[in-house]
Amino acid sequence: MKIFVTGGTGHVGESVLRLLSEAGHDSRVLTRNPEFVRGRVGSIPRVYPALGDITTSSVEVLAGLMAKMEAVIHIVGIIIEKGTAGFEAVHTEGTRRIVEAAKRARVKRFVHMSALGAREGAAARYHRTKFAAEEIVRESGLDWTIFRPSIIYGERDEFLNTFAGIARLPLPLPIIGSGKGKLQPIWVEDVAHCFVKSIETEETVGQTYELGGDKAYSIKEIMRLLVRSMGKRRPFVHLPVPIARFQAKLFDLLPGKPPFTADQVTMLGEDNVCDPAPLKEAFGLTLRSMENYLQERFGG
Q: What is the CATH number of the domain that holds 60?
A: 3.40.50.720
Domain of 141? 2-150+188-210+275-285
Q: Is 167 contained in some domain?
A: no
* Cα–Cα distance for residue pair 198/210, rounded to 1 Å: 14
Does the structure show a pLDDT above 60 at 145? Answer: yes
* Cα–Cα distance for residue pair 72/69, rounded to 1 Å: 8
Q: Is 22 contained in some domain?
A: yes
Helix (H, G, I), strand (E, B) or coil at 73: strand
Q: Is 219 contained in some domain?
A: no
Q: Is 244 contained in some domain?
A: no
| Number of folded domains that form the chain | 1
In the predicted model, what is the mean pLDDT of the chain? 94
Q: Is 181 contained in some domain?
A: no
Task: Tell me which amino acid residue 289 is.
Answer: S
Q: Is 112 contained in some domain?
A: yes
* Cα–Cα distance for residue pair 237/165, rounded to 1 Å: 16
Burial 46-55 (b: 16+ CB within 10 A, else e): bbebbebbbe
Q: Is 8 contained in some domain?
A: yes
At a CB cut-off of 8 Å and minimum separation 6, what does 243 contact?
none
The model's pLDDT over 81-138, given as tens digits with 9 standing for 90+, comes to 988 889 999 999 999 999 999 999 999 999 999 999 999 999 999 999 999 999 999 9
Q: Is 264 contained in some domain?
A: no
The model's pLDDT over 243-277, given as tens digits with 9 standing for 90+, comes to 999 999 898 888 888 888 999 999 999 999 999 99
**CA-CA distances (angstroms) from residue 27 to 65, 167, 224, 259?**
12, 38, 39, 34
